[in-house]
Amino acid sequence: MGVVNLARIDERLIHGQVMLTLSGRDGVNSLFVVDDIVAKDKFMKSLYKSAGGRTGKKTVVMTLEKCKYYWDEFEFKEYSCILIAKTVDVIYELVKHGVPMKEINIGGIAQKGEEDIFVTKSVYLNREDALKLKELDEKYHVEDIYFQATPSAPRTNLKEVLAKFNL
């Protein structure tokens, strides 16, 4: 059975030194990029697979539904992956579907609307996403949810961010 070594939410998906550093975590042998738009665009898919290949790890790009299927049918085989998505919603849907995740790192989310709140150096959240993260913590018992743009940056824990929403 495979495992999600780390789930990361970052709109940039695979990029630079961050992925090189994270892909060096103990046991990581693959990167799973879960994004419907990228997975359906041949050029973008090949671009991200190439970028992931620079880490020396197997890189798989798939839609949300294919990721759910891959878990249901194969439990991610022997892969110990960093699962990367652009949005809180994708990670939330996977955890609700039954994909176990112990650690979720939120690295970069841009402001989308006026209701979004600047919560850390590189992350804006709206109340809906904050509530989803709270649910992942309380109902689905994800052990560690934190905000950290780069591995060398300081961590901000979920409770600090939820306090900004009075949650």
Least confident of 47-56, 69-78, 140-149: 47-56
pLDDT of 77 higher than 80: yes
| Residue-wise pLDDT tens digits, 137-152 | 999 999 999 999 999 9
CA distance 100 to 94: 8
| Residue-wise pLDDT tens digits, 5-29 | 999 999 999 988 778 899 999 999 9
Domain positions in the chain: 3-163
- Residue 26 exposure: Cα atoms within 13 Å on the Cβ side: 0
Q: In terms of C-beta density within 10 A (0-12 exposed, 13-18 middle, 19 or more buried), how is residue 92 classed?
A: buried
- Answer whether CATH 3.40.190.290 is correct for domain 3-163: no
